[in-house]
Amino acid sequence: MIRKIVAGVLVLVINAGGLNFYSHSPVEIKTARAAYSGRQIKTVEYILGGGTDNTSRGDNVAAWAGSTWSATKGGAGTSTIILEGTNIKVKNAYLETNAVVAAAFNVNNVAVTLDVENGPNQGVDVPLGEELSVSPFNTSGLSGNIQVVSDVTALFSTQSDSQFQNGVGVIGKVQIDGATGFVRSLTSLKLVISYELDYSTSAHNEVKTVRFPLISVSSTDNGTKGAACPVAGVCGFGYRATLPDAAADSDILNAWFEIHAEINSSTASTLTPQISGGTVGPAFNWVEAISDDTNQRFLYQPPIGGSDLQRNVTSTLNITMGTIASNFLGGELVVTYRYSTGASEQTETVRYFAYQNGTAPGAVTSSFSISPNIANTGAVAKNIWMRIDSPIAAAQTMTWQAKVGSAATTTASLTYAGSLVRGGKGATFFMNLSSSSASFSFPQTTITGGVRFSSATGDQPISVEVYVTFTWSGSSGGAQTKTAYFGVPMQGTGNLGNQWYNRNFYVFLPESVTKIHRSSYLSAMVVHSEATTIALGTVNVGVNGASTTVTEYDDTESYTRVIHHQVPSSTFTGTASTTITWEDKAFVANMMASAADEVYFSGQFVATYEVRFPNIEPTYTQSYYRFYVDNSSTTPEDPWPTGTANLGENGAITASSSPPAKNENVRLRMSLTVGTRNLATTTQSFKLQFSLKTSSTCSGVSLWDDLGNPGSATVWRGHNNASTTDGDALGPNPPASSTLISVSDRAGTYEESNNTSPNPYAVISGENVEYDWNIEPNNATSGATYCFRMTESDGTPFANYNYYPEITTSGYRPRTQNWRFFDDETSTTPTSPMADENIAPSDVGSDSIIKLRLTLKDTANATGTNVKFKLQFSTFSDFSADVNDVVATSSCVDGVSKWCYADGAGIDNATITSSTLSDANSCAAGVGNGCGTHNETPTSSSNFTAPASASTEFEFTLRQTGAPANTVYFFRPYYTNIDSPVEKNTSEQYPSVATDGAYVDIVAQSTINRGDLIEGATTTVTSTATSLPFGALTQGIPQIAAQRLTITTNAGSGYQVTISEDQQLTNSLGELFTRSSSTNNLPLSWTQSCLSSMSACYGYHSGDDTLSGSGTSTS
What pLDDT sits at residue 476? 75
DSSP letter, residue 571: H
What pLDDT sits at residue 533? 93
Of the given ranges (105-109, 514-518, 621-625, 1097-1101), which has the lowest mean pLDDT?
A: 1097-1101
pLDDT tens digits, residue range 213-222? 999 999 999 9
DSSP letter, residue 378: T
Q: What is the mean pLDDT of residues 513-523?
A: 97
Q: Residue 114: which pLDDT band, with cuts at 50, 70 and 90?
A: very high
What pLDDT sits at residue 1113? 63
β strands within 1000-1053, DSSP E: 1000-1004, 1007-1008, 1013-1014, 1017-1018, 1023-1024, 1045-1049
| pLDDT at position 11 over 60 | no
DSSP letter, residue 507: E
| pLDDT at position 270 over 70 | yes
Q: What is the DSSP string of 955-1009?
A: EEEEEEEBPPTT-EEEEEEEETTTTEEPEEPTT----EEEBPPP-EEEEE-SEE-
Distance CA 581, CA 565 (A): 23
Distance CA 150, CA 132 (A): 13
What pLDDT sits at residue 31? 38
Distance CA 808, CA 307 (A): 65
In this structure, is the dihedral angle defined by the CA atoms of residues 1085, 1089, 1092 and 1097, taken in order, positive or negative?
A: negative
| pLDDT at position 96 over 70 | yes
Nearest alpha-carbon partner for 402 in 446, 448, 365, 435 = 448
What pLDDT sits at residue 477? 80
* 925 and 899 Cβ atoms separated by less than 8 Å: no
Helix spans in 69-130 (H): 73-76
* 970 and 877 Cβ atoms separated by less than 8 Å: yes
* Top-tier CATH class for 814-994: mainly beta
What pLDDT sits at residue 895? 87
pLDDT tens digits, residue range 1051-1088? 666 778 888 788 888 887 888 888 887 888 888 887 88
Q: What is the mean pLDDT of residues 325-353?
A: 96
Q: What is the DSSP string of 262-310?
A: EEEESS-EEEEEEETTS-B---EEE----SEEEEEEEEE-PPBSTTSB-
What pLDDT sits at residue 1110? 67
Q: Answer yes or no: same fold for 40-198 and 491-614.
A: yes
Distance CA 72, CA 943 (A): 103
Helix (H) or strand (E) holding 103: none
What pLDDT sits at residue 132? 56
| pLDDT at position 1001 over 90 | no
Distance CA 295, CA 258 (A): 13
| pLDDT at position 830 over 80 | yes
Nearest alpha-carbon partner for 294 in 421, 147, 413 = 421
Q: Residue 10: which pLDDT band, with cuts at 50, 70 and 90?
A: very low
* Top-tier CATH class for 491-614: mainly beta
Distance CA 299, CA 334 (A): 10
| pLDDT at position 23 over 80 | no
Strands 951-961 and 931-935: parallel
Q: What is the mean pLDDT of residues 358-385?
A: 95
| pLDDT at position 469 over 60 | yes
Question: Which residues are 718's β-sheet partners?
Answer: 775
What pLDDT sits at residue 15? 34
pLDDT tens digits, residue range 844-855? 999 999 999 999
Nearest alpha-carbon partner for 788 in 664, 660, 652, 665 = 652
Distance CA 149, CA 130 (A): 11
What pLDDT sits at residue 239? 98
Give, in order, the Cα–Cα distances in Å from 669 to each of 255, 620, 727, 766, 776.
Answer: 50, 16, 14, 19, 14
Torsion of CA 920, 926, 927, 928, to 10 degrees: 10
pLDDT tens digits, residue range 548-594? 999 999 999 999 999 999 999 999 999 999 999 999 999 999 999 99
* Top-tier CATH class for 40-198: mainly beta
DSSP letter, residue 116: E
Of the given ranges (861-875, 891-905, 1025-1039), which has the lowest mean pLDDT?
A: 1025-1039
Q: Residue 130: which pLDDT band, with cuts at 50, 70 and 90?
A: low
Q: What is the DSSP string of 802-834?
A: S---EEEPP-S-EEEEEEEEES-TTSSS---BS
Higher-confidence residue: 348 or 489? 348
Q: Residue 1115: which pLDDT band, with cuts at 50, 70 and 90?
A: low
Q: Residue 12: which pLDDT band, with cuts at 50, 70 and 90?
A: very low
| pLDDT at position 770 over 90 | yes
Give, in order, the Cα–Cα distances in Å from 624 to each of 397, 640, 652, 770, 801.
Answer: 70, 15, 11, 9, 10
| pLDDT at position 41 over 70 | yes
| pLDDT at position 18 over 60 | no
Domains of the chain, by residue range, sit at 4-31+617-807, 40-198, 491-614, 814-994, 999-1055, 1072-1115
Distance CA 822, CA 837 (A): 10
| pLDDT at position 498 over 50 | yes
Q: How many CB atoms lie within 10 A of CB 1092?
A: 6
Q: What is the mean pLDDT of residues 775-790?
A: 93
DSSP letter, residue 158: S
Distance CA 476, CA 90 (A): 26
Distance CA 889, CA 860 (A): 33
What pLDDT sits at residue 25? 31
What pLDDT sits at residue 490? 75
Distance CA 324, CA 506 (A): 44
Helix (H) or strand (E) holding 161: helix 161-166
* 548 and 541 Cβ atoms separated by less than 8 Å: yes
Whether the upstream peptide bond of residue 779 has omega within 30° of 0, thus cis, is no
Nearest alpha-carbon partner for 235 in 309, 333, 328 = 328
Q: What is the mean pLDDT of residues 957-963?
A: 95
